[in-house]
Amino acid sequence: MVDALFDDLTQAIRSYGSKARADKEKSYQKSSWEHWGVAFPKIDGAIRDRLRGIEAARLIPLAETLWSEPVWDLKIASGRVLALDRVPPSDRLWEIVVERVPEMDGWAVEDNMARVAWKCLLDDPDRLMTVATWVSDERMWVRRASLVYTLPWTKAGRDPETMLGWAGRLAEDREWFIQKAIGWWLRELGKVKPDRVTAFVNQYGDSLKAVARREAVKYLDGRK
């Protein structure tokens, strides 16, 4: 049954592809995967039309099959299937997220899977113990996931201190995508705790690259 769903969905997604878009995206994403050049709204439309009424028990193996293909667009589709509201957080869903983290090959796929991570982590914050191990990983995309996958802790009513500690440890990381993620995390926190962001920048600003500092202060003192 998964094979039939997979065939139907992938054929629909591929029919929306554009060679020009595929070439442009592959270059921009610096991706090693095959690209079909399908816009996200088209992927979402194919998922909505082909998977209407399909229960979570069938969606999870479908998403795993989609991910197993070396196609960027199908990896995006995998994350978007798992992010559907009808797929509840569970130990198995979190296991899938953790398994995928070392396989990331670009920011767009990682950001796409983040929505799945968010609902798993909010469901059981003890899962943050696994995320804590990513901060010192030698692989850049794994380190970045420690911040991108914990963005819900920038919201009002949640304690951001653990993640701010991780951001402090990563402040001297020279990778541009790490610095951008630090800035993103601080920018979002600045919407609800501007004083805490100011304190962080005062403490670590000399270590941060300009991109992180610019993002961090975006919502401070009314600046846009």
Residue 223 scores a pLDDT above 80? no
Residue 221 scores a pLDDT above 90? no
* Residue 76: inside a domain: no
pLDDT of 224 reads 42
* Residue 54: inside a domain: no
CB 147 within 8 A of CB 180: no
* Residue 192: inside a domain: yes
Q: How far apart are the C-alpha atoms of 76 and 44, rounded to whole Å?
A: 10
* Residue 118: inside a domain: no
* pLDDT tens digits, one per residue of 19-73: 999 999 999 988 899 999 999 999 999 999 999 999 999 999 999 999 999 999 9
* Residue 224: inside a domain: yes
pLDDT of 3 reads 85
Q: Mean per-residue pLDDT for 153-163?
A: 97
* Residue 13: inside a domain: no
* pLDDT tens digits, one per residue of 61-105: 999 999 999 999 999 999 999 999 999 999 999 999 999 999 998
Helix intervals (H) in the chain: 2-15, 19-29, 40-50, 56-68, 72-82, 91-100, 107-123, 128-132, 140-148, 161-170, 176-190, 194-204, 210-216
pLDDT of 20 reads 96
Average pLDDT, the chain: 95
Question: What residue numbers bound the domain in which 171 lies?
Answer: 128-224
* Residue 28: inside a domain: no
**% the chain with pLDDT above 70:** 97
* Residue 161: inside a domain: yes
Residue with tokens 């963005």: 151
CB 23 within 8 A of CB 35: yes
The domain that contains 133 carries what CATH number? 1.25.10.90
* pLDDT tens digits, one per residue of 168-186: 999 999 999 999 999 999 9
Q: How many structural domains does the chain have?
A: 1
